[in-house]
Amino acid sequence: MNHDSLQVAVTGAAGFVGSHLCDALLAQGHRVMALDNLSTGDIGHLDGLLGHKAFTFQRRDVCLEPPRDWGEAQRIFNLACPASPAYYRTAPVDTVLSSVLGLWRLLELSQRTGARLLQTSTSEVYGDAQRHPQREDYWGHVNPNGARSCYDEGKRCGEAMLMAYHQERKVDVRIARIFNTYGPRLRPGDGRVVSNFIVQALQGHDLTVYGDGQQTRSFCYVSDTVKALMLLMGADEIGPVNVGNPGEHTMLALAELVLRLTGSRSRLVFLPLPQDDPRRRCPDIDHARATLGWQPEVSLEDGLSRTIHHFRQLLGQQRVIVA
C-alpha cells in the first residue's frame, strides 16, 4: 500500500493477525474501520487503538450486511475466519459460513463501491500436500469431508468465488495464502503448536507432541506476515501469493527450541496424530519475492523469544514454573 491516507476496512480486526494489521495501518497514517464478532477475537488486542481518532470498531458478524459506512472504504482486508483448529473443529458451521457467506457479503460490497478486497486464504488449501515445498500452482490434496474440511474447503471455495467475481464482474481482488504465523497475541488454548508448547513449557506441563514429531511446519513471525499483506494490497498482483517462512522445522525441533528458550524442564509426551494432519508444510515464496519484493526477516529464535515474553506477561509469571 502507498503511504497516502486511505479509508481501510478490516474484518477479524480483534484477532491475532488482524489486530497487528490494524496497528500497522494506523502507523502508516490510514483511517481504519474495524469489525469483529469476537467469537475468537479479543477486544483487549485493540485496547491501544480504541481512542485513536482514525480508528473505529464495530462488534458485528461479517455474515450480516456490512455496515453502511463501509461504502466509504477504499480497501478491505478480510481476516474474518477462525484459524485455530481448537475452534473450527467445534464450530464447523460458523467456519464455513464466515469463509463463504461472509466473503460473499464483502464481494458484493466491493462490486458496488469499487473497493479493493484482499482475502486471507490459507496454506490449508494444500491439505496433506504431496508436493514440497508448496507452490501456488499446486492444486493440493484435501479431504473434502474430513475433520478439517470446514476450514480447508471453506477457504478453497472462497478463492474460487473471488476469481469468479473478478473474472465475471471485474471486482478488484487479492489472494494471500498464509502459512503458520506466530507472535504476541496468540491465545492460550487455541490449539496452535507454538502457543501450546510455550504455555505448557512456562507452566511446567508436559509438551504434547502429536505423532512421532517428525511432521514439519514453517513459522512466519506476525510482523513479516502483516508486511506481506500490506504489500500485496498495494501491488498489481492478484495472487494467490504464498505468505510464509520457507524455513521448515519438525515438531520435535520446535519443542526442543521452546524448552531451551524458556529454561523449562518439561518433558515431551506423544499422542496420536489427528485426522488429516499434514505431514509436511513449507511454502515456496519465489512468487512473493518476485512480485512483492518480500521475504521474512525475523528468525524463528528471535520471534519465539518475543512470543515467550508475551506469554510470560499474559500468564502473570516472573519465572518458569517447572514440574
30 Rama sector, left if φ>0, alpha if ψ -120 to 50, beta otherwise: beta
* CA atoms within 13 A of residue 37's CA, in its CB half-sphere: 16
Element (H, E) at 114: none
C-alpha cell at 156: 478453497
Q: Which three cell numbers stand for residue 42?
A: 479479543
204 neighbors 323 (Cβ within 8 angstroms) = yes
Burial class (CB in 10 A: 0-12, 13-18, 19+), 241: buried
228: three-class secondary structure by DSSP: helix
Q: Which residue, 27, 130, 136, 33, is CA-closest to 75?
A: 33
Query: Cβ contacts of residue 313 below 8 Å, gap of 6+?
Result: none
Q: Give the DSSP letter of residue 101.
A: I
Q: Which helix (H) or strand (E) holds 144?
A: none
Catalytic, 138? Answer no
User: Per the residue annotation, which of 88, 126, 151, 165 is the catalytic one?
Assistant: 151
| Active-site annotation, residues | 151
